[in-house]
Amino acid sequence: MAHGNGRVCRRNGPISSVVKDDIAGLARFPRQPEIAKPMDVFLILVHKLADLLTSQLPWAIGLAALFTVVSLFPSQACNPGQVWWKNPGLLTDTHYLFIIPVLMPYLRTALVVLVVALASGVTSAADVEDFLTKGRGPLSTLHPVAQGAIYMLGTDFMLYWAHRIFHGRNLWPFHAVHHSAEHVDWTTSYRNHPVNNLLGASLTQMTMVALGISPEVMVALVPFDILTAAWVHSNLNWTLGPLKYVFATPVFHRWHHGPVHLGGEKNFAPTFSFWDYMFGTFYMPEGELPEEYGVDDPDFPKDFIGQMVVPFRQFIQTFQRPKPKADSPGPAE
């Protein structure tokens, strides 16, 4: 299977209430370095896990129930017989569902401080919190509805191009994690390397915050983000007719998970497919459905730990010149 690109989207790491708490928590950071006690670390982890269960688990249960019902209608499946609970990669997807959300807040916090500092020159924790809650960017004076529209279109545009960059040689190892799924279903939307999340969704979100989009607007769009992420990865044969040129659909995105010669280098947009139509990367052959998914590296790890570690080694290797073969002729005299 080919170098089909995974979905770099805001759904991979939406600014939820948990993330908002992480941002607000900057103001509570100690002014002087303190050494955390083991019990404090333990309590923090327990708190994070509790947040995770209350924020992620209900969505996971709801989506599982929804797509279990959908699976009762095999005529609607893009790939009949591939139900999500028999997905051979389900265990790996589950690791991403429950582990990555615990790690990402710390990475996002560092990114928040960097972006806000560059955008406005503020450096203290109190100033950062004030910037994010009140907004100082040029878009902060707009009505929330206008901010929401700009956020959806703006992030989708930026993520379209981020997606294409992650499709390149250097960042592909991190993005290959998402596309390593050989059976694509709603659980695949959780399978994303932290580097992919950080430089894709999180950086895009923080850019919008720096421009003045309210975090409250982003929080309001979280349900839409989660549902559409699951929708485009679902095993459905829906194309929406002529609306396929406007909105990303399950068939549209499933082509995206396929071999290079069958759409793997096409269909980059997370939500609005008209970006692909505008930039010449739209691919939906009439009367056909995708059947093959995965990456073209048979040695790419299938387990969670391997997928966390190996991309860093492969990333470094992309900057190294290939060694000449032993029987290769030397340079001309």
The pLDDT of residue 125: 64
Q: What Rg do the C-alpha atoms of the chain give, in angstroms? A: 21
Angle, helices 38-55/17-24, rounded to nearest 10 degrees: 150
User: What is the CA 175 to chain-centroid distance, rounded?
Assistant: 9
**Selected residue with higher pLDDT from 248 and 33:** 248
Structure tokens at 5: 């690109």
Q: What digits encode the pLDDT tens for the residues 181-198? A: 999 999 999 999 999 988
pTM assigned to the model: 0.77
Residue 294 pLDDT > 60, yes or no?
yes
192: closest CA among 73, 107, 252?
107
- Percent of the chain scoring above 70 in pLDDT: 69
pLDDT in tens, 194-243: 999 888 888 888 888 888 888 778 878 888 888 889 999 999 999 999 99
Q: Classify the phi-psi angles of 8: left when phi > 0, otherwise alpha if psi is within -120 to 50, otherwise beta.
A: beta
Among 96-100, 126-130, 173-177, name the one with the lowest average pLDDT: 126-130
Burial class of residue 275 (count of CB atoms within 10 Å of its CB; 0-12, 13-18, 19+): buried
User: Measuring CA to CA, how many Å separate 234 from each of 71, 86, 247?
Assistant: 10, 14, 15
Each residue's pLDDT tens digit, 28-80: 444 444 444 555 544 555 565 556 556 667 777 888 888 888 878 888 889 98
Structure tokens at 33: 């370095």
- So what's the pLDDT on residue 27? 39
Q: Is the dihedral of CA 53, 108, 138, 10 positive or negative?
A: negative
> What is the mean predicted confidence (pLDDT) over 125-146?
75
How high is the pLDDT of residue 254? 96
Comparing C-alpha atoms, which of 129, 109, 135, 224 is closest to residue 144?
135
- Where along the chain do its domains lie? 10-317
Phi-psi region of 263 (alpha: psi -120 to 50; beta: other; left: phi over 0): left
User: In terms of Cα–Cα distance, which of 47, 207, 227, 33 is closest to 116?
Assistant: 207
Distance CA 212, CA 259 (A): 40
Cβ within 8 Å of residue 311, ≥6 positions away: 173, 174, 176, 177, 193, 195
Please determine, for residue 116, whether its predicted confidence score (pLDDT) is greater than 70. no
Region 298-316 average pLDDT: 95
Indicate the range of 103-117, 147-161, 264-278, 287-301 predicted with least confidence: 103-117
